[in-house]
């Protein structure tokens, strides 16, 4: 599946740090980038249509879309090895499109300046933590249990605050969310880089594309969640 150029690692100098970008990693970032573009395109298209916005704001459609997102993530993670690469790719794009459909409401809730600032900040943090994930000598898997506890605690706090509606608690949740997904970006990058370094994976023409999609999904989720928590922090409503 890979051509002769894709069979060699690409040396990259990032602020004086030499990083080997392997073929699988390039596929991961390609899928992630295209997924983000699909999400952004769908979100902007839906936000520009009054009829589509009303559809998104329908509680049944909104919660159905959120449940659909969860189902797709579980299906991809649980069944990736049994799927064909084409099916895995289709499900990834369906998920990215469904995210765009739901996220179209942020164009109603926040002004474009806030959205742009959140995106640029997210891109900067994500890029920095990607370099950390590539270059750190620390084994980040030792913090896996802390990340899991943090995610569970964050979800519980968000559910509780749905009923409390506390502004200060929402601010704390947003801060924790930013810190957690910033760290998870480095963690996931390190795990994907380690997987990409396995010659048995890169030599498997059917497994490598599917694992690239799963890796892209992880980084996509890190980016999206980091963006949303940053938007909650300094986003402002349109005039």
In a domain, 189, yes or no: yes
In a domain, 3, yes or no: no
Local structure of 229: helix, strand or coil: helix
In a domain, 5, yes or no: no
In a domain, 153, yes or no: yes
pTM of the complete model: 0.85
Q: Domain limits at 169?
A: 10-234
Q: For the segment 135-177, what is each residue's pLDDT rounded down to a tens digit? A: 888 888 888 999 999 999 999 998 888 888 878 888 999 999 9
How far is residue 147's CA from residue 32's CA, in Å, rounded to a whole number? 22
Q: From first to last of the 239 residues of the chain, give the pLDDT tens digit.
A: 333 333 344 444 434 434 444 677 888 999 999 999 999 999 999 988 888 988 988 889 888 988 999 899 888 888 887 888 888 899 999 999 999 999 998 988 888 888 889 999 999 999 999 999 888 888 888 889 999 999 999 999 988 888 888 788 889 999 999 999 999 999 999 988 888 777 666 555 667 788 889 999 999 999 999 999 999 888 766 65
How far is residue 181's CA from residue 173's CA, in Å, rounded to a whole number? 12
Cα dist from 44 to 38, 52, 108, whole Å: 10, 11, 11
CA angle at residue 116 from 114 to 120, to 5 degrees?
120
In a domain, 211, yes or no: yes
How many domains in the chain?
1
What is the per-residue DSSP string for 18-61? EEEE-HHHHHHHHHHHHHHHHHHHHHHHHHT-HHHHHHHHSHHH
How far is residue 235's CA from residue 147's CA, in Å, rounded to a whole number? 26
């Amino acid at each position: 599946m890979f051509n002769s150029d894709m069979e060699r690692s690409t040396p990259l100098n990032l602020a004086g740090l030499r990083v080997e970008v392997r073929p699988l990693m390039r596929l991961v970032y390609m899928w992630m980038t295209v997924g983000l573009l699909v999400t952004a395109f769908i979100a902007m298209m839906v936000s520009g249509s009054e009829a589509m916005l009303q559809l998104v704001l329908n509680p049944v459609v909104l919660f159905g879309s959120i449940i659909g997102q969860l189902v797709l993530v579980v299906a991809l993670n649980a069944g990736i090895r049994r799927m064909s690469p084409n099916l895995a790719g289709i499900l990834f794009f369906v998920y990215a499109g469904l995210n765009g459909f739901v996220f179209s409401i942020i164009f109603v809730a926040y002004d474009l300046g806030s959205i742009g600032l959140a995106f640029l900040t997210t891109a900067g943090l994500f890029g920095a933590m990607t370099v950390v994930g590539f270059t750190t000598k620390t084994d980040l898997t030792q913090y896996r249990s802390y990340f899991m506890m943090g995610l569970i605690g964050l979800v519980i706090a968000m559910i509780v605050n749905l009923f409390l509606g506390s502004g200060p608690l929402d601010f704390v949740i947003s801060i924790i969310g930013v810190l957690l997904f910033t760290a998870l970006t480095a963690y996931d990058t390190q795990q994907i880089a380690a997987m990409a370094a396995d010659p048995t994976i890169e030599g498997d023409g059917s497994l490598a594309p599917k694992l690239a999609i799963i890796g892209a999904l992880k980084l996509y989720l890190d980016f999206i969640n980091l963006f949303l928590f940053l938007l909650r922090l300094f986003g402002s409503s349109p005039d």
